[in-house]
Amino acid sequence: MSTWSLVSELSAFSGPCAKKAWRREFPAVLREVGPCLAWIEAIARTSRLSDDQTYAILLCAEELVTNIVRHNPPETAGAAPLCVAMSLQVEEDRVILTIEDNGVAFDVVQAPTKQIEPSIDLLEPGGLGVGLVKRFASNLQYFRTQTGNKVVASFITECASAPDGVKG
Amino acid sequence: MKLEIAELENGIVKVLLSGRLDVDGALEIDDAFRTAVGGKKNVVVDLADVTYLASLGIRTLVIGAKAASQMGGKLVVLAPQRNVEKVLRESNIDTLIPILGDDADVDLVFGF
């Protein structure tokens, strides 16, 4: 069962740039990806994120969670269930997506990006998710924790208008 | 995720997709898509109404493109939305699956 909470609401600024953080925990199974994306979309709407920024966050979240699910062996007797903790932090100039899991070590930053073969006949389907995460996140960090993996992806916010008093 | 099929002139098959081609969407249409493109030489996948595409969706397209190539033809995609097109280009899959802007290019790309 998924649980989520608004971890903190820090209104350093008025309007859409207020600093807020949300957190969600869920079992690492493919059927949880859809609800996870819906959760992100709801936050994006509330925070008035741009379509482009929302898309980038959704894409990276889907690819990272799907990777966790697909690259961990089935649960063995006595092993802890595979879980994901996802947090989304909306700051003045960026959104930070943090994904933690208790699966096998996987450094997405060091993982190679799949190269496209010169011919469709030579290309094996799949494997493009890591490359997309690296292209769509403004910044990507990986940490191996005591319990598993932690990926921090940030997405720069492109401001629609100049600050007050500054002429364009 | 919805899938419709249309038969164009010159034997070109047009597959119209609509909705989100995320994990759920890709799994939802996987069998139907394989059936639609199976045994077909020239396939155009209309992405105008696809609002989201991720790597599993690209995988579905690649499988279709490989099937078309085995028939001596090709699969192309048509009119993707801005961010969907960005995903196709950033993954470099557009080097193997051409992106067309509109219907006027369809006959041309297949040599008709």
Give the ipTM of the model, two decimals please: 0.94
pLDDT band at A78 (very low <50, low <70, confident <90, very high): low
Q: So what's the pLDDT on residue A10?
A: 40
Binding-site residues on chain A for chain B (CB distance < 8 A): 30, 33-34, 37, 51-52, 55, 58-59, 62-63, 66, 116-117, 119-121, 123, 125-129, 131-132, 135-136
pTM: 0.88
Q: How far is A38 from chain B (nearest CA, A)?
A: 12
Contacts of B83 in chain A (CB under 8 A): 51-52, 55
Choose the weakest-confidence range: A50-64, A72-86, A110-124: A72-86
pLDDT exceeds cutoff 90 at A73? no
pLDDT exceeds cutoff 50 at A11? no
List the structure tokens of A41.
């979309």
Region A13-36: mean pLDDT is 81
pLDDT along chain B (112 residues), means of 10: 92 95 93 93 96 96 95 95 97 95 87 82
3-state secondary structure at position A90:
strand
Binding-site residues on chain B for chain A (CB distance < 8 A): 22-24, 27, 52, 54-56, 58-59, 62-63, 65-66, 69-70, 74, 83, 87, 90-93, 95-97
Taking CB atoms within 8 Å and a gap of at least 24, the contacts of B65-68 are B65/A120, B65/B96, B65/B97, B66/A120, B66/A121, B66/A123, B66/A125, B67/B34, B67/B37, B67/B38, B67/B39, B67/B40, B68/B37, B68/B40, B68/B41, B68/B42, B68/B43
Contact call for B66 and A55, based on CB within 8 A: no
Alpha carbon distance B53, B88 (integer Å): 8
Q: So what's the pLDDT on residue A162?
A: 46
Q: Are strands B13-21 and B2-7 parallel, antiparallel or unpaired?
A: antiparallel
Percent of chain A with pLDDT over 90: 65
pLDDT exceeds cutoff 60 at A144? yes
Average pLDDT value over all residues in chain A: 85
DSSP letter at B83 equals H
Q: How far is A103 from chain B (nearest CA, A)?
A: 20
Q: How far is B77 from chain A (nearest CA, A)?
A: 14
Contacts of A121 in chain B (CB under 8 A): 66, 69-70
Contact call for A132 and B91, based on CB within 8 A: yes
List the structure tokens of B32.
């139907």
Region A141-149: mean pLDDT is 95
DSSP states of A105-151: ---TTTSPPPPPPSSTTTPPS---HHHHHHHH-SEEEEEE-SSSEEE
Choose the weakest-confidence range: A75-79, A91-95, B37-41: A75-79
Q: Which residue has the higher pLDDT, B64 or A1?
A: B64
